[in-house]
Amino acid sequence: MNIINKVADMQKISKHEKQQEKTIGFVPTMGYLHEGHQQLIKKARASNDIVVLSIFVNPLQFGPNEDFEAYPRNMERDEEIAHSLGVDYLFYPTITEMYNGERTTIIKVQKRVDVLCGKHRPGHFDGVATVVMKLFQIVMPDSAYFGMKDAQQVAVIEGLINDYHLQVELIRVDTIREEDGLAKSSRNVYLNDKERLEAPYIYRALTSGKEKFLQEMSVSNAKDQIFNFLSKNTSGEIEYIEVLSYPALEPISSVKPGETAIIALALKFSKARLIDNIVFSY
């Protein structure tokens, strides 16, 4: 495995590999790799000649009340995991390398961001779209792998790819869960013992809400079901519960068979804000 720190070097490598008619699978991350990330890498490894993993904690997607410096980092461990999974190139740039000077253009996401996490984190997905666009231009992948735990992020990036006719295929990868149903996340390390016991109720609440929706085809009843379930079984603060179309992330005004929906929620514990979702057809 080769570690690349410079944008120009990564671009040169990608051009060379593509000239050899090799396919490039790309897994963009902010590091502190967990089993969810590992599943993305495994999917990329199974389907491509070359696998590129990026680790870059992107300052543009952190809001004024979010601690960029506190985001968990463990580069030595991440390198070991990447090497063990057969990553060919680990792209690990500095902030200065990625944002070298004042920007003359900006990417502003206009759709799919006024709900869910985007509603509570203004500007967050502008930062996500900006860094993903830059990474796509640097790595030049044939396919990029994203986990569905961050389903809103997937929807935004699919929109970015479609809007700009980017020659990369986004591969959705199912959420990886603990045995008790809790979605794998770097933020789970911040749960105390009591909260860790409560956290699996997030997925159970989503499942209960999905069943309610399919039974009654009522958005409000499904949301009430989830709210009551979480209130009864957890001490966390409910930030949002939403039932929307997917990937458009718009209100479901009329229930039409064959459509796709997402049920998503965010729950804030003392030191961890957890998100999860279920995407399904009805």
Please list, in sequence order, all residues whose beta carbon lies within 8 angstroms of the beta carbon of residue 216, skipping any fewer than 6 positions away. Answer: 222
Q: Please identify which of the residues 16, 37, 83, 165 carries the catalytic annotation.
A: 37
| pLDDT range class, residue 101, cuts 50, 70, 90 | confident
Note the pLDDT tens digit of each residue in 263-276: 999 999 999 999 99
What does the pLDDT read at residue 153? 97
Q: Is the pTM of this model over 0.85?
A: yes
The CATH class of 186-281 is alpha beta
pLDDT tens, position by position, 84-95? 999 999 999 999
Binding residues for ATP: 30-37, 147-150, 176, 184-187
Residue 142 near residue 48, CB atoms below 8 Å: yes
Mark the binding-site residues, compressed into ranges. 30-37, 61, 147-150, 153, 176, 184-187
Q: List pLDDT tens digits, range 12-56.
A: 999 999 999 999 999 999 999 989 999 999 999 999 999 999 999
Nearest of 32, 57, 68, 29 to residue 146 by alpha carbon: 29
**pLDDT value, residue 67:** 82
Tell me yes or no: is domain 2-173 CATH 3.20.20.70: no
Q: In what order do the strands lie in the sheet with 2-4?
A: 2-4, 89-91, 50-55, 24-29, 143-147, 169-173
Parse the chain into domains and list their residue ranges: 2-173, 186-281
pLDDT at 65: 81
Q: What residues contact residue 9 under an 8 Å CB cut-off, 6+ apart?
A: none
Binding-site residue numbers for (R)-pantoate are 61, 153
Is 37 among the residues known to form the active site? yes
Phi first, then psi: give them for residue 9, nearest 5 degrees.
Answer: -65, -40
Q: What angle do CA 90, 95, 100 make, to 5 degrees?
A: 115
CA dist., res. 150 & res. 171, Å (int): 13
pLDDT on residue 59? 96
